[in-house]
Amino acid sequence: MPAARASRSHVALMIRTVLTHPVVMMLKRYAREVRWSIAGSGVRNPAIPRQVRSVLFVCLGNICRSPFGALLAERLFREAGKGDIKCSSAGIRASQAARSPADAVAAARSYGIRLDDHVPRQLLRDLVAAHDVVMVMEASQQQQLQATYPEFRDRFLLLPLLDDSPAGAYERCNLPDPFGQPIEVFEACYARIDRVLRRWVSAVNPIERSA
């Protein structure tokens, strides 16, 4: 039995080595780009409502992307003189961890955002109904929620589609989950959210200036 376990471990190690080889990783990224250049061509955002009073940010677990986005957006709205727009967050499958991971907390802190005391919240129909815009992070999330809540399908905006400089076809439709990744991945994720929201906030409820 010990010999059999050792043999299985050796095979597993060989498989991991092959799958993580730089050439294999490059081919996987290329295949993903080709797939998304086709699948993503039909992904669209609905129009922003003429008057936005509330925005709900949604990701999978509500411990990394969506709470950061909600807190940052609320501050940016306030700084833009649109402090009456309220922002909150929820998760499609709210994390049972009951807290944001340490790297998320650390990466958010550089933006003046505190995730230390954030408690994940489950997305429910009444939350969708109570918000004018529901901002999601991945194309599959937009599709899932539009199918689950068809009466609110025009409320679901895909955040990465608002990015004017995505890295490729996959990133055009997806803001990948940084959970379980090194802090550098959190930093890159939050930098992208910050860049997108700064542009988007200015487009929401434009302030008319007198001549």
Helix (H) or strand (E) holding 34: helix 22-39
Taking 70 as the pLDDT cut, the residues of the chain under it are 1-30, 32, 40, 208-211
Residue 14 has which token pair?
A: 């060989």
Phi, psi for residue 133 in degrees, rounded to 5: -130, 135
Q: What letter does residue 204 receive in the DSSP assignment?
A: S
Per-residue H/E/C for 149-185: CHHHHHHEEEHHHHCCCCCCHHHHHECCCCCCCCHHH
CA-wise closest residue to 76 among 184, 172, 205, 209: 205
CA-wise closest residue to 155 among 84, 68, 76, 56: 56
Phi, psi for residue 101 in degrees, rounded to 5: -65, 155
- Say what the pLDDT of residue 100 is: 96
Instruction: Please give the Cα distance from 87 to 77 (Å, whole number).
Output: 9
- Residue 57: how many CA atoms within 13 Å on its side-chain side? 25
CB 101 within 8 A of CB 116: no
- Say what the pLDDT of residue 19 is: 47
- Say what the pLDDT of residue 27 is: 56
CA-wise closest residue to 204 among 60, 87, 40: 87
- Say what the pLDDT of residue 24 is: 47
Q: What is the pLDDT of residues 43-54, one digit of tens each?
A: 999 999 999 999
Residue type, 19: L
Q: What angle do CA 112, 114, 116 make, to 5 degrees?
A: 150
CA-wise closest residue to 191 among 111, 121, 94: 111
Cα-based distances in Å from 103 to 32, 57, 63, 72, 187: 27, 20, 11, 17, 9
